[in-house]
Amino acid sequence: MIQQKTRISCSHWEMDEKGFGNAVYQLNLFGKDLALIAFSNHLESSQRTDRVIASSWDTSFALFDGVPSISDIERLKTQLPFQEAGRYRNTELVLSRANKSVRMFELVAQSLSEGEQPPIELINEIGYLMRTTAVYGNGKFGIDDRKNHCEHSDFSVPFQLEMLTVYLIRGFSLDLVNHVAKARNPKKFVPLDKKIQRYLGIGNATGLGMAPFLVKHPVLLNNWFQVRETALSRMINLAKLSKEKAERLIELTFRVKAFINSWNTDDDRQKKRIDILKAEWVSLKNEFTLEKLLKINSLKNIFNVSKNYSTECQELIVSLFLEVGGDLIDGLDLCLESTKSPMLHPKMRVHELADLIKKNFSWALKIDFSLKENQSRFWYVSEEKLEPRLGNRYEEEGQDLERPLDIAKRTCTLHADLESIDNDMIVAEFLIKYPEHRFIIRRIQTNAWAPYSEIHDNLIDEHCKPIDMLRCKLSFFGASKFDPKSDRWVRVNLFQGAPLKNELNDQKNDDWWMPTLEYC
């Protein structure tokens, strides 16, 4: 958007003094008119839950294809606040909803209405005014299919339109808090400080749905990791870092400590990880001197050193390297999309299939599924708002309705069945006898050309932590401040430090890696 110098304008704002009403934001991106349509409604505290099973929210949104007419807005007024229970047309590209961070929204509004800026401690502690609790794209509930608009290469990057929606919601949340504060006391009101506005991102609360998504889209998962690994490889194989890049790296490292210090969570496991990261950074930051960075293979050396540190620290280093590599890696985003579908290869001999399992799925073969604890979970979809859930096989009803996320177990079962089969048989013949293996065979064959397509873990293990999968997916969206609320629920912050919607006209504003109030 910065390259395009995109202008986002509020074309419609109809809000009462409490901030209830509707608004429309209009923009043109790559020649395409788009609009965010927003509704803000009163919500009783007793109704405010971020869970999928919620039925009402503080705000609801649609990304609209084109310029919406009054009748479009009127139609969506009767549908959008109901989200999944509404019905939509192909003019809608993305649906979303968000709840206020009540404490934050109220305190910011009150402070501004009294002519003061809100307390920095609270801004640092929460970091956003609203949390999105779902973002739906790709044909859900009747909205347009992704494939209808991704032919335009600028929109072909996965989740591009969803993330645009989230970015626009962030802008709306800032406008709304200013509006409410001004309405409370127009004479004393002061607008929220630009620096604070920029520091505020948009929260997101996420549950189990992201885990089945990753399993259901093996090629997409593969492509995301291929891109990440390719980008990292390009960076660490830079023989000589330019002085400009080295200086930029050093400049960025100054932000790390403050950023990590502003990362709050009540989760014990994550807290420990952050504490370790803080300690490790104290020693690792010494690698980032101009003298060291200008040596041959400096990034590779730092990368190798980081292997001795925690995963959290290793990821920090990867993120830091990628941040200065825009000219080398930005084009890779066009490879994130999944354009090749998994296809069965029925001509493959059974012994070739067995070899693939031994070579690429040894991680699965190591699991003993005769042990109760290795298959105590099952994934299912509840009748209650179609929520994806994870049950205990031995305590809950419904294991006969299990969803196929048990990749490791299916691999082991297939492997056992292959042992009694003539090695020269082809897969097509094998499937006549064992049609139940069609699903896993296609995945194993796909994995031969898409090596990152499978999560190397037992997703039905008693100790499986879905939260790790959620974080994985969210990290590709640039989510930060990972704050687990249980082993299956997480809050994150998106677009913290990103340019505001009226700051997209200047390239220098595209600088928001590890934002802190000091650097916004």
Site membership for another protein, residue 26 (CB under 8 A): no
Closest to another protein by CB, 41 or 138: 138
Max CA distance (Å), the chain: 86
Closest to another protein by CB, 137 or 515: 137
Q: How far is the CB of 374 from another protein (least distance, A)?
A: 20
Taking CB under 8 A as the criterion, the residue among 274, 398, 421, 477 binding another protein is: 398
Site membership for another protein, residue 478 (CB under 8 A): no
Q: Which of residues 203-222 bind another protein (CB under 8 A)?
A: 205, 207-209
Q: How far is the CB of 346 from another protein (least distance, A)?
A: 4
- Are 67 and 26 spatial neighbours (Cβ–Cβ below 8 Å)? yes
DSSP label of 334: G
Site membership for another protein, residue 415 (CB under 8 A): no
Question: Exposed/middle/buried for 247, CB within 10 Å: 0-12, 13-18, 19+?
Answer: middle
Instruction: Evaluate the CA torsion angle 455, 460, 464, 467 in order and state its sign.
Output: positive
Residue span 274-293 as binding mask against another protein, x where in contact by CB under 8 A, dash where not: --------------------
Site membership for another protein, residue 389 (CB under 8 A): yes
Site membership for another protein, residue 423 (CB under 8 A): no
Q: Which of residues 32-61 bind another protein (CB under 8 A)?
A: 45, 48-53
Taking CB under 8 A as the criterion, the residue among 6, 21, 117, 139 binding another protein is: 139
Using alpha carbons, list the distances in angstroms from residue 514 to 55, 136, 263.
35, 27, 11
Residue span 55-94 as binding mask against another protein, x where in contact by CB under 8 A, dash where not: -----------------------------------x----
Closest to another protein by CB, 437 or 501: 437
Site membership for another protein, residue 255 (CB under 8 A): no
Question: Exposed/middle/buried for 435, CB within 10 Å: 0-12, 13-18, 19+?
Answer: exposed
Question: Exposed/middle/buried for 399, CB within 10 Å: 0-12, 13-18, 19+?
Answer: middle
Closest to another protein by CB, 282 or 428: 428
Strand-strand pairing, 388-392 and 201-206: unpaired
Residue with tokens 């609270």: 122
Q: Which of residues 442-471 bind another protein (CB under 8 A)?
A: 442, 466
Q: How far is the CB of 142 from another protein (least distance, A)?
A: 6
Closest CA to 341 of 430, 411, 443: 443
Query: What are the structure tokens assigned to 410, written together?
Result: 């299916």
Taking CB under 8 A as the criterion, the residue among 335, 381, 421, 500 binding another protein is: 381
- Are 309 and 273 spatial neighbours (Cβ–Cβ below 8 Å)? no
Query: What are the structure tokens assigned to 369, written together?
Result: 């599924």
d(CA 510, CA 372): 51
Site membership for another protein, residue 19 (CB under 8 A): no
Round the CA-based radius of gyration of the chain to a whole number and report it. 25
Closest to another protein by CB, 28 or 382: 382
Taking CB under 8 A as the criterion, the residue among 97, 179, 273, 488 binding another protein is: 488
Distance of CA 197 to the CA centre of its chain: 22
d(CA 434, CA 415): 12
Taking CB under 8 A as the criterion, the residue among 18, 42, 74, 102 binding another protein is: 102
Strand-strand pairing, 489-494 and 480-486: antiparallel
Site membership for another protein, residue 441 (CB under 8 A): yes
Of the candidate spans 14-22, 109-117, 298-306, 400-408, the one that interacts with another protein by CB under 8 A turns out to be 400-408
Q: How far is the CB of 396 from another protein (least distance, A)?
A: 6
Site membership for another protein, residue 344 (CB under 8 A): yes
Closest to another protein by CB, 246 or 441: 441
- Are 107 and 119 spatial neighbours (Cβ–Cβ below 8 Å)? yes
